[in-house]
Amino acid sequence: MSRALGIYREPEFSPGKVEADAAILDATMAELKREGVEIQTIDPVSFATGPTPRADLVLPMCQGPRALKQLAKVEQEGAVAINSALSIRNCYRDLLAPGLEQAGVPTPAGALVPAGEPLDVRKLGGLDLTAGVFVKRGDLHALAPEDVQRAGDRAEVEAILGDFARRGIRFAYVQQEVVGRVVKFYGVSGAAHFSVHPEGEEVAEAAVRALSEAAAAAAGVLGLGAWGGDAILNGDRFAIIDFNDWPSFSRVRAPAARAIARRAISLLNRSR
């Protein structure tokens, strides 16, 4: 019998979503159990520091460096992971922007800059600060509301960078603002699941198809099996502004759990 190990996300990386993140993992593990897989779940601290239970399949939501180091070791020993340690690390902002660029998907221009140094506009690559930019913490996704702030000129950017530095954030990602409406999307690779969730009016079918293709391409380059993100829609055009490893899938938990379980079993069978 195959064994699957699920790893919960660190609470500090689930601001306001601890229960929702746990719920999608639990639902996915339940789907695997229904398929005859022996399951076990573990918290990320125990996973990173204690003896690791034997598993053929690992389903990690952890994001911290210690847990990812242990996950990489487990993968090297032969376990199949969805998502892999490398793909999770690829969603840190310092690697995410180059990954989206490599995937060739529409995404706003941006630049990674040190937060604790005077702003060197030459490192901004031609970003138009007066047209509006978002300054985001340059490592993980937002862990607090102030981790993503809008700025309309150089002085505001410098003030936000100073705030980041005081809070111990070493780098910031400055991203050009894109006008339009925000939509969330969720996906599971292998055409297992894709859904778009706008606030307000529905998204045209053609735009959903185009966003689905772009998001799948991004997930492929990043190496993700379960993923989600945010995009800005403006008419029939869109830009992906964020991409995450294994979100909570709160709006589509049941079908997403089934899709992730099917994808995980497919990858496991393929590895044998």
Mean pLDDT within 214-232:
97
pTM of the model: 0.93
**Closest to 193 in 3D by CA, of 212, 221, 207:** 212
User: Which residues lie below 8 Å from residue 25, measured CB to CB, with a gap of 6+?
Assistant: 6, 7, 8, 9, 41, 59, 61
Superfamily of segment(s) 181-248: ATP-grasp fold, B domain (3.30.470.20)
Range of weakest confidence among 41-45, 155-159, 204-208: 204-208
pLDDT, residue 85, reads: 98
Strand order in the sheet with 226-234: 193-198, 181-188, 226-234, 237-245
Strand partners, 136: 148, 173
Tens digit of pLDDT for each residue in 98-145? 999 999 999 999 999 999 999 998 889 889 999 999 999 998 887 888
CATH numeric code, 109-176: 3.30.1490
Task: Give span(s): CATH 3.30.470.20, the chain.
Answer: 181-248
SS3 26: helix
CATH numeric code, 3-91+254-271: 3.40.50
Task: Give span(s): CATH 3.40.50, the chain.
Answer: 3-91+254-271
Tens digit of pLDDT for each residue in 157-192? 999 999 999 999 999 999 999 999 999 999 999 978
Q: Count, in order, helices (H) and strands (E) of the chain.
A: 8, 12
